């Protein structure tokens, strides 16, 4: 089983394309590790935020650059499917004027602070400052949380699934493929230890490594 998170479009595709690195939520999670990105069924052409000019232009620019059908119509974005996989590496608390240096903090209207209370932890007292693009693609209202995502990869074959609220679990085993890294080939699969390339082979074949096929 693997954890999954449902987002409406176009936000799910913005994450899948690596253009949105932080998913802002009203709730905190202690989970860290692999996470599937699921695009909800709601029609993105009916989302009220799409009427915001700056948002619409920024998203349109992202999809135009991505190509592969993204620029034609947002109504055609995949819905009701798991479209990407990533790693959830941290959960930050969004605040006004982050950081312990008062002089510097006063210059930062919005940021997010580490929630680590262990003074010996590497990220103790750390903070992040969102870019203009991240501010546009998320809700950075103080009091909310910024989920930091890394190592994002789109799935070659999006997986149809209804989805759920909050974090939910999904059985990836029936959707896994395998490659043999000792055989020539260009198939890429995502594993918890990284993306591995090789020739596609049968699951369970000697010398094979199993995972989800990604671009």
Which pLDDT does position 121 carry in this prediction?
76
Per-residue pLDDT tens, the chain, 215 aa: give them. Answer: 999 999 999 999 999 999 999 999 999 999 999 999 999 998 887 777 655 788 888 888 888 888 766 766 777 889 999 999 999 999 999 999 998 888 888 889 999 999 888 788 787 778 999 999 999 999 999 999 999 999 999 999 999 999 899 999 999 999 999 999 988 889 999 998 999 999 999 998 988 999 999 99
Query: How much of the chain is helix, strand and coil, in % rounded to 5?
Result: 20, 40, 40
Provide the pLDDT for residue 46: 76
Q: What is the pLDDT of residue 110?
A: 95
Nearest-5° angle of CA 37, CA 42, CA 47? Answer: 105
Domains of the chain and any CATH numbers: 2-170 (2.30.130.30), 176-214 (no CATH)
- Among 87, 97, 80, CA closest to 35: 87
Indicate the DSSP class of residue 141: -
For 38, phi and psi rounded to 5 degrees?
-110, 130
> Which residues face 170 on adjacent strands?
2
């Amino acid at each position: 089983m693997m954890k999954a998170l449902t987002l409406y479009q176009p936000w799910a595709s913005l994450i899948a394309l690596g253009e949105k690195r932080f998913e802002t939520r009203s709730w905190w999670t202690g989970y860290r590790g692999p996470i599937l990105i699921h695009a909800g069924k709601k029609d993105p052409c009916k989302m009220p935020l799409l009427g915001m000019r700056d948002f619409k232009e920024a998203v349109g620019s992202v999809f135009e650059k991505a190509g592969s059908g993204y620029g034609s119509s947002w109504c055609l974005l995949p819905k009701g499917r798991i479209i990407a996989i990533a790693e959830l590496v941290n959960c930050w608390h969004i605040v006004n004027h982050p950081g312990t240096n008062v002089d510097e903090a006063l210059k930062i209207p919005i940021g997010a602070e580490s929630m680590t209370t262990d003074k010996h932890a590497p990220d103790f007292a750390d903070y992040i400052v969102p870019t203009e693009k991240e501010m546009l693609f998320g809700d950075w209202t103080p009091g909310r949380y910024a989920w930091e995502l890394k190592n994002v990869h789109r799935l070659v074959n999006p997986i149809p699934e209804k989805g759920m609220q909050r974090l939910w679990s999904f059985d990836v085993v029936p959707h896994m493929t395998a490659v043999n890294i000792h055989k020539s080939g260009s198939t890429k699969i995502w594993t918890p230890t990284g993306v591995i390339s090789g020739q596609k082979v049968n699951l369970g074949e000697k010398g094979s490594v199993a995972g989800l096929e990604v671009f």
